Chains A and B, each alone.
Chain A
């Protein structure tokens, strides 16, 4: 199954530590999106990347959060100096190179981040 792969599935960090979340898109997909889901809420857009480029980061907090999608390797969402409010499920999605309108974004299983 060559779906969107996220790891780790669960991540526990103490306040002040760094969290790194990884996402490998589906084969042939070069568009990656990160979303955050707080408990009992819908998904909120964070950032949209293509290879080596950030296209839209309008949903990213200005501090402590960063994302990259290098030429080789997975996309990384990095949260520095985590706080309790960062506890959430973080989903990665990917879509094909072509922007055919009816192409859905395919989601990974998410990373559940818990801050102690």
Chain B
């Protein structure tokens, strides 16, 4: 079974600062993928970034980067130069790389950017 833990229910960050959202995971699978999704107040789920368990380099997508520490089973999301539009819920999720593709989600972190 897979489990995702997000220990920060809410965070407040000043605009233009960087922010790190924590995510730890637990799995017995050797091959897995880690995902981050953003859910703004309008409710849709927006894919942000992906990291595969065998990827040697940390993933980056624009202002988003993933700090992947496999030995610690952590996959923290880093948002650089935060903007007001970054205010949203952020969910970490994972799935097996081979076989069933269902996603297991964490409980999320509500990020609020302060002007």
Return chain A residues, CB-CB under 8 Å to B33.
Answer: 101-102
CA distance A102 to B31 in the complex (A): 12
Q: How far is the CB of A89 from chain B (nearest CB, A)?
A: 7
Q: B50 contacts the other chain (Cβ, under 8 Å)?
A: yes
Inter-chain contact total with CB atoms closer than 8 Å: 65
Return chain B residues, CB-CB under 8 Å to A42.
Answer: 4, 91, 105-108
Q: Which of A18-26, A65-73, A79-87, A103-111 contacts B (4 or more CB under 8 A)?
A: A103-111
Q: Give the size category of A's interface with B.
A: 20 to 34
Q: How far is the CB of B77 from chain A (nearest CB, A)?
A: 14
Contact, CB under 8 Å: A43 / B91? yes
CA distance A1 to B66 in the complex (A): 28
Residue of B45, B100, B102 touching A107 (CB-CB under 8 A)? B45
Return chain B residues, CB-CB under 8 Å to A105.
Answer: 47, 101, 103
A interface, CB within 8 angstroms of B: 31, 33, 35, 41-45, 48, 55-56, 59, 89, 91, 93, 95, 99, 101-102, 104-110, 112
